[in-house]
Structure 1
Amino acid sequence: METDPMNATEYLRSLCRLLHFGVPPGDVLALQDQPDWEAWGKALADRAARYAEDGESALREGRVASAEALLRTAAVCFHYAQFKWQSGDMRAALRERSRRAFALAAPLSCPPAEPVAIAFDELRLPGYVRRIAGDSPAPWIILLNGLDSAKEVELDRFADGFVRRGANVLYCDLPGLGELAGRSSLRRFDAAFSAVASWLAARCNGDARIGVFGVSFGGHLACRAASLSPHVTAAVCLGGFFDTAALERLPGPARDNLRRAYGLPVDAPLEELRPTIDLARLPTPAAPRILIVHGSDDHLADAAQVERLCRWAPQATLRVWPGGEHVCTNLFARCLPDLWDFAVGSLRAGGPAAASVA
């Protein structure tokens, strides 16, 4: 298995993400001197296995709060153990262990994460919904993955902020992503998202207020959804791409994920996706409220990508966070409350807009 060597710059670039999404700080510190990402991942997977074992023991003994915390930590650590690896059996096994740990923790959450399987052609799109308590109907946010994120880890953590602000959430794997990687193609995204939004609207008797949030490549997908789905009335694009110009800057594992998502051979040039990954071919979104969020120091989606996004969606509110890295991982403490407020407020009549960036 090939992985990139560890170096201080790459590790620091990953540090904010690892910590924010729940890798314990002690594990991050203990593993920082591993020689390469393969060794780092194997060591983290060993720690994840111990968290999973402890969490399952707590669950059997009725220690619910401890079980939830330990199983969520196991899911996070299994996920990040493989996030720098190329595709292979070991990587697939760790992803499956992450899903299993999360599935055990899901019903223990508040509100619970309820498993769903949404019919789309011959597929069942696996995912989760989390619904807030209350008699009045709440808006819904559909969350979309990036190329190396998981619904059980990053999307579930992003979902927390929407739920705390009074929104229900839905996150599922679309063709070519997550559990459906290698089984279908992300070229079917438009039709699959339409099926998801229609399924959600039907559950709400056609009265749903639906927004969409996407991170990294999922930001590109969120823009596609806002353009093509009549159900979407608000959208947030966090670090998203406009077209293929940014893709050659993707790290190796992300390029591998992209090819697999779209059903390309492992050595196919990404240029083959130019006709598919290009928002210029789509109409300007009808959604009245769109937030485009970028970091000024984003090494993937540069200023040219941001400019094209804003020309394509002139009604969008743009937030460029000074010093922000890709998807603003180093500024999550400020940018996430801002985008959570924007999304939920936009789906409520007279709700607040995003805060100004200083």
Structure 2
Amino acid sequence: MRRLPWGYRVRFSVESDDGGPRGTTTRRRGVAGVTDGERGREFVEGRFDRWWTRFLAKGLDRYDLQNLRDDIGAWEEWCETFAAVGEEHAEHGREAEAAGNATTAGEHFLRASMYCHFGSFAWFVDEGRRERVHRRGVELWERAAPHLDPPAERIEAPHPGGADVPGYLRVPGGTPDGLDESPLVILLSGLDSTKEEQHTRASDFHARGIATLSVDGPGQGEMWYTRTMTPDYHEAISAVVDHVEGVDDVDASRLGVYGVSIGGFYAPHVAANDDRFDACVGLAGPFSVGPASLYRSVSMRDGFLHACRADSFVEADEITERMTLRGDIEDLTAPALMIAGGNDTVIPPEQTRRIAERAPNGELLYYPDGDHVCKNRVTQYRPYAADWMRERLV
């Protein structure tokens, strides 16, 4: 493994989201260790503190966020309050579209989609309401799609399990170094994210002439309705590659995969099981997902139960304990860049380091002060990772 110059180990500790010890696993559907009624103002404040930088990075308005923080008194109110703000931005989008201002319309619809996404992404109080807001977010993103630069095309790749894999393909107008077609990077989300949230990371590649395809895999986003989390995640992504191999303007023989958080596990898992991938980036991913019941983060525990459609951690653990690179890592022969932060309180950085050390062509980009997915080092790791991927695909 080639270790980058600033890489070194730091002491690591894990805390629960609320700063206290991990609770018991007795729960109502969608709630781990605490009932919805106990998730009041203090819990809501904690969510804003934890996700504030993520909200801003995805284009949410600081003034809106401050008002939402003041207005939401309990977790039960979170989903629909966020969605209401999304509808305000959607109205601005319709007005801009009617006036012929396509770029502005796209910006408004995209922002509206993000409010719906963040209203529903880790909220499992009422599945009917969550689904309604999630699907509305997808609808708004697709309203933005033709107005984006580059525009997005929805694809649905046939999957052997009978459920299509949905995604957004975006191909930039120019190609790198005079290539006839753009290389392609497939973007994979984490436990609580979806393909709609990947637009910022996709822009790094578009600026370098590389096409992107953001997808929902089993247990994620739209695909959750038909396929739950599975140790065979790679089969869905291989089906996506089959589907795009003949797409015009895309050179699928120059293929990369990039995953974030649990997606940082999926990316090397996919590349190890499909030798068509030429490069792999994994951000803050675990070598082994392990038992869902051992995670100390409230949102992670909720998320695993939801992704697995499980009523108990006994059921969820049966799935997540089988999600490991232990039998795959030697097959990850493509160049693999793993990125980790020393202050990650969700995925221990030693887990990500282990992928880099065990992969035949692995290397580690390590930020001693980096938090989970290195949100506090975005301006450093994102251009580095995009340049690294470009060098290997071009």
Q: Could you tell me the TM-score, scaled by structure 1's length?
A: 0.89
Q: Does 1:123 align with 2:163?
A: yes
Q: Deviation at 1:22?
A: 1.1
Match of 1:89 in 2: 128
What aligned pairs does 1:116-195 form with structure 2 within 5 A after superposition?
116-121=155-160, 122-134=162-174, 136-152=180-196, 154-187=197-230, 188-195=232-239
What aligned pairs does 1:264-343 form with structure 2 within 5 A after superposition?
264-268=310-314, 270-343=316-389
Aligned pair in 2 of structure 1 residues 246, 298: CA closer, same or farther (>3 Å)?
farther
Contact 1:213 1:219 in 2 (8 A): yes
Match of 1:21 in 2: 58
**SS of equivalent to 2:279:** strand
Match of 1:355 in 2: none
Partner Cα separation in structure 2 for residue 339 and residue 207 of structure 1 = 19
Contact 1:48 1:73 in 2 (8 A): yes
Give the one of 64, 72, 85 matched to 1:47.
85
Contact 1:246 1:300 in 2 (8 A): no
Contact 1:297 1:322 in 2 (8 A): yes
Q: Deviation at 1:305?
A: 1.0
Aligned pair in 2 of structure 1 residues 19, 169: CA closer, same or farther (>3 Å)?
same
Aligned pair in 2 of structure 1 residues 179, 84: CA closer, same or farther (>3 Å)?
closer
Deviations 1:25-65 (A, max 9, x none): 11122222333333344332221111112212322332212
How many equivalent residue pairs?
Answer: 347
Q: Deviation at 1:317?
A: 1.4
Match of 2:138 in 1: 99
Partner Cα separation in structure 1 for residue 151 and residue 52 of structure 2 = 29
Question: % of aligned pairs identical?
Answer: 28
Higher relative contact order (CA 8 A, sep 6+): 2
Q: Deviation at 1:193?
A: 1.5
Aligned pair in 2 of structure 1 residues 16, 195: CA closer, same or farther (>3 Å)?
same
**SS of equivalent to 1:95:** helix
Aligned pair in 2 of structure 1 residues 68, 327: CA closer, same or farther (>3 Å)?
same
Structure 1, 67-76 or 31-40: larger mean CA deviation: 31-40
Q: Deviation at 1:131?
A: 0.7
Deviations 1:67-126 (A, max 9, x none): 111111100111112234116111111111111111010011111101111111222211
Aligned pair in 2 of structure 1 residues 246, 236: CA closer, same or farther (>3 Å)?
farther
Structure 1, 5-14 or 160-169: larger mean CA deviation: 5-14
Partner Cα separation in structure 1 for residue 61 and residue 368 of structure 2 = 28
Aligned pair in 2 of structure 1 residues 177, 10: CA closer, same or farther (>3 Å)?
closer
Query: Which letter does structure 1 place at the counterpart of 2:147?
Result: L
Match of 2:110 in 1: 72
Q: Deviation at 1:322?
A: 2.4
The 4+ residue runs of structure 1 with deviation greater than 6 A are none
Q: Deviation at 1:252?
A: 3.5
Query: Which letter does structure 2 place at the counterpart of 1:280?
Result: R
Aligned pair in 2 of structure 1 residues 261, 31: CA closer, same or farther (>3 Å)?
closer
Give the one of 231, 238, 241 matched to 2:276.
231
What aligned pairs does 1:231-250 form with structure 2 within 5 A after superposition?
231-245=276-290, 247=292, 248-249=294-295
Contact 1:223 1:237 in 2 (8 A): yes
Partner Cα separation in structure 2 for residue 342 and residue 39 of structure 1 = 42
Contact 1:201 1:231 in 2 (8 A): no
Match of 2:247 in 1: 203
Match of 2:28 in 1: none
Q: Deviation at 1:226?
A: 1.3
Q: Could you tell me the TM-score, scaled by structure 2's length?
A: 0.81
Match of 1:213 in 2: 258
Contact 1:84 1:253 in 2 (8 A): yes
**SS of equivalent to 1:45:** helix
Partner Cα separation in structure 2 for residue 244 and residue 311 of structure 1 = 17
**SS of equivalent to 2:366:** strand
Query: Which letter does structure 2 place at the counterpart of 1:189?
Result: Y
Match of 2:7 in 1: none
**SS of equivalent to 1:225:** helix
Unaligned runs of 5+ in 2: 1-34
Unaligned runs of 5+ in 1: 349-358
